[in-house]
Structure 1
């Protein structure tokens, strides 16, 4: 922005300078015109220094205007070029060429103006004019002298002939001889005696060396009138001769004509002198105009020279900028991704040509390398996609760290295990996301099992850490369910053994206590009450032990489910109804969008599972009412919802009881309970029943207070089991056989 502001201020300054120079130039022109027209005598020359000063004073602002105009043209041409710059190169070349042309030109103009002015001043000085006039006077005097000589010779010859005519006749040979002698001795070339008769007709009385013309035509009325007016002779100068006429007998109208050939060289010199003097007078009258014209010519030529220099500067700048502009245009295309672009191969072997060839080599290499890089990137992209597909398909979480502990790669399973779904974990520190992993890396632990709090759940993770030069790769897997299955299998085996070892002596003990009560109870006397109380205690405790053993047996050896098509809504309603009747103070709410929800299931086992879940919800509400003084049993609420969407069936139970414990992942483990009288087998049995129905069960916090239990079934999987009835039949037979064995054993004990 600051640079743009400076450029704008610079343009404004240049614009003001242009107007100032234009006004100065106009003022100087007007001032010079007024000064020149104000001179009193416009034929007088202006002094050379003043003329040169006026010329230079007008020339300098004119050159500045021309340079500024050239600057505008340069900027416009630069803006239209491929570079599209502010035209600094053009402007600098214009300024340089203008300076190189203007400085010597001004010196030459000053010198030429002064030289011409002083020359003109000398040419039109009095001295030069005097020389020309003297030469002309000499030529005129020489020519006039010749004319006087011819006239005087003619007068003298006329006197001699006049005397001779007194002695002889004009037609006599003596007169003719004397006449010829007179003409030749006086160096005349021709002569004639013309007589006018009474009739007014001129006749040639005598002639010497006459030319082809009639001499009578030489004596005109104007000549006769001049002679009669008192002129002694009349001389006429022709181009080739000097003619003179005088009177022999003025009364008798007899005239003498004489002519001498002119000196052609002298005549031409005299005529030339007259022409030179005439031309000189004409030039002198136009001397000031010529002076101004010469200075104007110098002014125009100077501007033409500067303009030519500007034009050369623009041409040179264009030639210099054109390859640079081609390079800039090619560079822009390269930045846009067109690596196949090339600049025209320059023919010049200068720096610009070298730069163009280097640019072409560079783009050629870039194109080759880019093609190779694109190919490599495609291969890397394919490999990366393959690796990402593999990473997304594995069940383990994988995190790649750089040397600084920043996450470079993480799969979706890792985000799910860390409860960070949807978060952008790239470039974040592992210490922020999972401090447990950061501690393992700091302690150089490669393989271990840790407990990790994922949101509100505690998970058991098996962690493996591999150190690399570029960082670490962490692989971890959730083994919570695996450990739970292992513990459940172990507890199932333990339960089976306990049931086998404890159940066998329970029946004889109970039967023995009952027999003692019947046989000896009435014969004891004073100790009968105590005896009866003791035997009753034995029977009751044996019954309690039998119940525990029965639960062990149920958990260790649950019967196989009998899958038949049934209505899930009826099963849920029945379980809710039983609990609602047993616990009238608690509000049970059942919701179902459809009254008929078909499901292939074991009605008895599924009802048992729902009953166990409802019992746990009731016990959680009772526990909260005991621990929370602000919560009464009547405030308890249990909401059951059956929903069928997206091909799945779900049963959602929400209560407002005490809620889940901290180690909520272990609540489905066998013998895991938070109540004093609980066996810890209820939810374990529920988990097993749900799994045998190919379903999933999850525990979470309810939207309000309490616990949410969600059971999801896949009807399509269960539908394939609907016609399998062999297993249930075998199971029923086994149950009946086991009951018969129990009855036979009881009879033997009684005996």
Structure 2
């Protein structure tokens, strides 16, 4: 699910959905508040709670997703990690803070809205309206009673004044009796002066100010009205005449909180004002709940980020340290918290582990160093030996191959075939090792060369160790030594009777050539044949002697270019039908060589090349034109002579063409190339045969500039 969420960019979608939901709920809340503001009604508790919850949930989601982004950013900046643990801690703390907050908000909002709806519902307003009407009825009734009592009291006092004088004790007692009997709170008898002013004549309790009685009221009473009633605050006042002619008036006051005509209206008005304010308080309360909830969740997110930094950073430090240890740094130690908590315990355990690993690694390094030293010693020994050494496992795959083995079995520049099967590289050697024999002789084809190898094998359950030596040269030397011995014996046994035969034949020819009258021509032919064949035999014996007793070269400073040109000139004269080409470097210089042997080697090779070209021309009969090219190149330590022809090419068994008495021509003795090979070796070089491009043969002769230098070095080494 996490992988799918990352691939689908789920959190970006959630952020967009949360923002759109918050904007939509904000617009819906604004619409509902605006519609309710026209009639002044409160939002129903269900609607208010739903709007608050619907706006709060996406707002909290935005806050939590913002916390996630901050967690990822802080993790990337501070510890360079993906921040998954940061995100989980932020989500956990946000969930712990958001769920109870949402429940409290729902409960508080519903309880608050229900309370406001109870006190400011239509029923509550109806009760206040009824109370207002009841208060008005009571006020009107009290006002009528006040008018009746004041008129009756004024009439009674007027009757009393006819019998007793005004101001007498009897009148005062009667006045007080009337006040108490009629339940008057305050009363005063007013006396009008001649100037129009008013004086108090008598009063009961209270202090009725004269300023409350205006001259307009007295004028209305003088015009014939019986009573003037007014109300203010919590009292009802009445002024009625006792004796208009004498200017005596009665002023009475009855007090009560329910007697104010506007008291109930003020309550209703105050109720409406409170209800209007309650609507504002409803909005404020919801806003406070919204802000407080977001603040609580935001505080939880902030605390989660700080807590995650503190708790996660040691874990990331441990991860980095573990990677360092995995990379081989066993001296790595973590620092920081080492208290009694789990992180400190983990840090201490990690440091103990790395300390043990470091000690074990040092021990392993010491052991590996000893093994490396032993392995290096063994490899040095293996590389120093001239024999090839190959080690294979139980399946026959190559595990080790020294330099001598690579030189014998592989082409120049090829990589060591470690891991390959020995049977795919050298099947002859692998077959000998599989038979279980301890030793044997095998033939191995390396490119165009056929090598003779003396192989020894040691096999165990884990694999085999095979050693082998190239005895091709040794066998060739043995054959050459044997042929040299045979040549000496043949030259000795044949050369002795050749001279008497030739002398006897010449004597017969001189003595009897003139005496014979018949068949003289036949006699001449027979004696001539004998003399020629003796000469051929003598030439063959001379070659045998030359191969068997080739003299040691006499080294002198010679110009190889001049010697090569002389040999080439003789061949050009002898074979005018062949195109000869010669090229040499300009700065070859002088080399130490035997002039006669150098020329003999060049002549023999050029002669063989000419014979190969003539053999091909004789076989093709199509206007074939032979070509022989001679190239001389100089180097710091040797001179290389390359002779290329377009003749018949190399024979099938070309490895044996340098052996004595091995030839591909009818009249050849097989000693020419053997003599050349011996001369080149005496001059510190080598002779190499390669196929021409596209046909023919290329013979490469390498002559050392100073062969005596190499011989002195070999003697010093011995």
Give me the TM-score of the superposition, normalised by structure 2: 0.77
The equivalent of 1:565 in structure 2 is 557
Q: Deviation of residue 607 (structure 1)?
A: 0.8
* Distance of aligned partners of 1:678 and 1:276 in 2 relative to their CA distance in 1, 3 Å threshold: farther
Secondary structure of the equivalent of 1:124?
A: helix
Secondary structure of the equivalent of 2:620?
A: coil
Equivalent residue runs for 1:11-22 within 5 Å: 14=14, 21=21
Unmatched segments (≥5 aa) in structure 1: 723-751
The equivalent of 2:82 in structure 1 is 84
Instruction: Report Cα offsets for 1:599-638 as digits up to 9, x if no partner.
Output: 2211111111111111222222233344x23466x62221
* Distance of aligned partners of 1:358 and 1:67 in 2 relative to their CA distance in 1, 3 Å threshold: farther
The equivalent of 2:48 in structure 1 is 55
Q: Is the 8 A contact 1:448 1:462 kept in 2?
A: yes
Q: Deviation of residue 65 (structure 1)?
A: 2.8
Q: Is the 8 A contact 1:67 1:95 kept in 2?
A: no
Q: Is the 8 A contact 2:5 2:11 kept in 1?
A: no
The equivalent of 2:678 in structure 1 is 688
What is the CA–CA distance in structure 1 between the aligned matches of 2:49 and 2:186, rounded to whole Å? 67
Equivalent residue runs for 1:400-419 within 5 Å: 400-411=391-402, 413-419=404-410
From 586, 592, 598, the counterpart of 2:584: 592
* Distance of aligned partners of 1:178 and 1:104 in 2 relative to their CA distance in 1, 3 Å threshold: closer
Instruction: Report Cα offsets for 1:524-571 as digits up to 9, x if no partner.
Output: 998999888777666555544433332232222222222211211111
Using the TM superposition, name which of 399-408 and 213-222 deviates more: 213-222
* Distance of aligned partners of 1:358 and 1:231 in 2 relative to their CA distance in 1, 3 Å threshold: farther
Instruction: Report Cα offsets for 1:197-241 as digits up to 9, x if no partner.
Output: 44456666x667999x99765665345335435565668889999
Instruction: Report Cα offsets for 1:704-746 as digits up to 9, x if no partner.
Output: 3221111122325558999xxxxxxxxxxxxxxxxxxxxxxxx
Equivalent residue runs for 1:110-509 within 5 Å: 110=110, 113-114=113-114, 116-121=116-121, 124=124, 126-127=126-127, 129-130=129-130, 134=134, 156=156, 160=160, 163-165=163-165, 175=168, 179=172, 182-183=175-176, 186=179, 195-200=191-196, 220-230=214-224, 247=241, 249-254=243-248, 270=258, 278-284=266-272, 287=275, 290=278, 294=282, 297-298=285-286, 301=289, 304-305=292-293, 308-309=296-297, 312=300, 315-316=303-304, 319=307, 323=311, 327=315, 331=319, 337=327, 340=332, 342=334, 345=337, 349=341, 395-411=386-402, 413-424=404-415, 425-467=417-459, 470-508=462-500
The equivalent of 1:629 in structure 2 is 620
The equivalent of 1:615 in structure 2 is 607
What is the CA–CA distance in structure 2 between the aligned matches of 1:278 and 1:191, rounded to whole Å? 28
What is the CA–CA distance in structure 1 between the aligned matches of 2:592 and 2:259, rounded to whole Å? 149
The equivalent of 1:713 in structure 2 is 703
What is the CA–CA distance in structure 1 between the aligned matches of 2:463 and 2:11, rounded to whole Å? 58
Secondary structure of the equivalent of 2:165?
A: helix
Q: Deviation of residue 454 (structure 1)?
A: 0.9
Instruction: Report Cα offsets for 1:285-330 as digits up to 9, x if no partner.
Output: 6647736853773476267537744763675487458755764686
What is the CA–CA distance in structure 2 between the aligned matches of 1:210 and 1:271, rounded to whole Å? 19
The equivalent of 2:715 in structure 1 is none
What is the CA–CA distance in structure 1 between the aligned matches of 2:219 and 2:607, rounded to whole Å? 176
- 1:665 matched to 2:659? The reply is no
What is the CA–CA distance in structure 2 between the aligned matches of 1:189 and 1:56, rounded to whole Å? 54
The equivalent of 1:65 in structure 2 is 58
Using the TM superposition, name which of 592-601 and 553-562 deviates more: 592-601
Q: Deviation of residue 468 (structure 1)?
A: 5.4
Instruction: Report Cα offsets for 1:364-391 as digits up to 9, x if no partner.
Output: 7777777877888788777777776666
Q: Is the 8 A contact 2:128 2:268 kept in 1?
A: no
Using the TM superposition, name which of 489-498 and 515-524 deviates more: 515-524
Aligned-residue Cα RMSD (Å) equals 5.2
Q: Is the 8 A contact 1:392 1:412 kept in 2?
A: yes
* Distance of aligned partners of 1:531 and 1:471 in 2 relative to their CA distance in 1, 3 Å threshold: same
* Distance of aligned partners of 1:123 and 1:435 in 2 relative to their CA distance in 1, 3 Å threshold: same
* Distance of aligned partners of 1:195 and 1:178 in 2 relative to their CA distance in 1, 3 Å threshold: closer
Unmatched segments (≥5 aa) in structure 2: 713-718
Q: Which has the higher contact order (CA 8 A, sep 6+)?
A: 1
Q: Is the 8 A contact 1:154 1:245 kept in 2?
A: no
What is the CA–CA distance in structure 2 between the aligned matches of 1:320 and 1:420, rounded to whole Å? 64
- 1:548 matched to 2:540? The reply is yes
What is the CA–CA distance in structure 1 between the aligned matches of 2:303 and 2:645, rounded to whole Å? 92
The equivalent of 1:579 in structure 2 is 571
* Distance of aligned partners of 1:368 and 1:514 in 2 relative to their CA distance in 1, 3 Å threshold: same
* Distance of aligned partners of 1:8 and 1:667 in 2 relative to their CA distance in 1, 3 Å threshold: same
Secondary structure of the equivalent of 1:464?
A: strand
* Distance of aligned partners of 1:398 and 1:184 in 2 relative to their CA distance in 1, 3 Å threshold: farther
What is the CA–CA distance in structure 2 between the aligned matches of 1:190 and 1:117, rounded to whole Å? 45
What is the CA–CA distance in structure 2 between the aligned matches of 1:675 and 1:259, rounded to whole Å? 171
Instruction: Report Cα offsets for 1:671-719 as digits up to 9, x if no partner.
Output: 2223333222222221221122112221111223221111122325558
Q: Is the 8 A contact 1:459 1:478 kept in 2?
A: yes
What is the CA–CA distance in structure 2 between the aligned matches of 1:486 and 1:570, rounded to whole Å? 36
Give me the TM-score of the superposition, normalised by structure 1: 0.74
What is the CA–CA distance in structure 2 between the aligned matches of 1:28 and 1:67, rounded to whole Å? 18
What is the CA–CA distance in structure 2 between the aligned matches of 1:324 and 1:663, rounded to whole Å? 79
